[in-house]
Chain A
Amino acid sequence: MPLIEFVSAIVGFVLTLMVFSYLIGDNPLFRFAVYLFVGVASGYAAAVIVNDILLARLQSLPLGDPALLVIGLIPLLLAATLLAKLFPRISWLGNFAMAVLVGVGAATAIGGALTGTLIPQAEAAVDAVDPRSLTGLVGGGVMLLGTVTTLAYFQFGAKRAADGTVKRNAAVEALAWVGRVFIAVTLGVVFAGVYTAALTALIERLNSLILFLKSILGL
């Protein structure tokens, strides 16, 4: 095993134990590991951004074509203005770059949500109902019902009743109640998945510790 890999394994082993010490309770070892992780991860990300994005862009500027050079410099200049956000007096300089980022991001999200989720999923919900077979009818019906009722749960339009209380429409209220059942089942399954992922991470960590110990012990 190369030295760098051995050292990495030892460090990883120790840091894993440090983090696991949190199971006993919060302690300095856990904090040490977490702060170290945040620092390394941030430095790693900064290095990647500077090296792979900004410097790479700067190096790839077409110096021979003024038009393309200007076009290529604009995002870099806008990016540079974002640094002004660190200084309150001139933080307004970064608003232009943020405006471009937000405007493009909003439009991209709109286009993606509309064409990638709303229309296809609505179609899928309807198409799931297959009257030609019982399973298709029941399964598709349940699927459609679940989709509609889940959406109905997030329908918060209501009217004020005669007694002054604000209530949703009775039909919407019933649909919303059914939607809550679907949502509860969905979140239960999601929770099971989260737990499985966490347990898998625990298994992976324990496995790495065991492999390291076995490699140390020569087993």
Chain B
Amino acid sequence: MTAVLEIRDLSKTYRTLRRGRRQALAGFDMTVAAGEVHGFLGPNGSGKTTTLRTLLGLIRPDGGEMRLLGQPVPERLAEVAGRVGAIVESPQFFPHFSARDTLSLLADAGDVPRTRVGEVLELVGLRDRAKDRIRTYSLGMKQRVAVASALLKRPELLILDEPANGLDPGGIREMRDLMRSLAADGMTVLLSSHILGEIQQICDSVTIISLGRRVAAGPVEEVLRAHSAASVRVRLEAADDLPRAAAALTEAGGQVTSLPDHLLVAAERPAWITRTLADRGLYVSELAPITVDLESVFLELTGTAPVAGQARQVDESVVVGGHA
């Protein structure tokens, strides 16, 4: 596995006169392998944007090491910047220029042929609105311009911070398809997003950050498996047999939760459940593994699941090993 992005022990503390010290990154680690679509998740204020901005030379880190495409950054960022396309946070462009002007000025500044401008405008679906001023664009259209600007230099690594922000459902699907096709062409994509369903669908691996530290990382399936209390839903032909079944499974060493019309059996193989019940003359009508999704893992790991009657504050997340 060749890593195109490596971050080790990255730290950053903001110091302001008004708010004092605020630690945004506290020894954060991340690795993104070449050719994968990597999801970068974290609650608001967890340090995602600080990480991306630090990686791209916009913010000076207090400590740690970073490498982009094998080169140490920020020391040799200028050498690899031409191979990295990025958008950070919400798209911001000079409102009185058209998308075409904006992109052609960037192309000129980066020695990219202007013919590429038309190609990326076509790619993000802005061909027919390219000559309109950006101030007339919706948030989703500005987002498309941002993605177009990142794609302009045919990057090897594409870093996108909330690319689906403001997009309509069709736009989100287009963006997903675009990511997939870029990844299929060999581009590595680092995708920061809050749309966890999207991340789960298109990402090969993820890193989850909370309060400036990595709380989970790895292939999506592994993260789901490692952080889910896997259980199996069991129904019987006769609901009256459920107490007997619960007793039998408990007696055989299983952890059982009884519910009115089914049982939940924790962390056991379905075959063991079937055999245990059949040995006692109980026959299963439904045996379904309860799957967890990325959203529930994310909420669990970051401690940001909503609680009825409570208004969670932005920085109320968890750190590794305990609650903040």
A associates with B: no
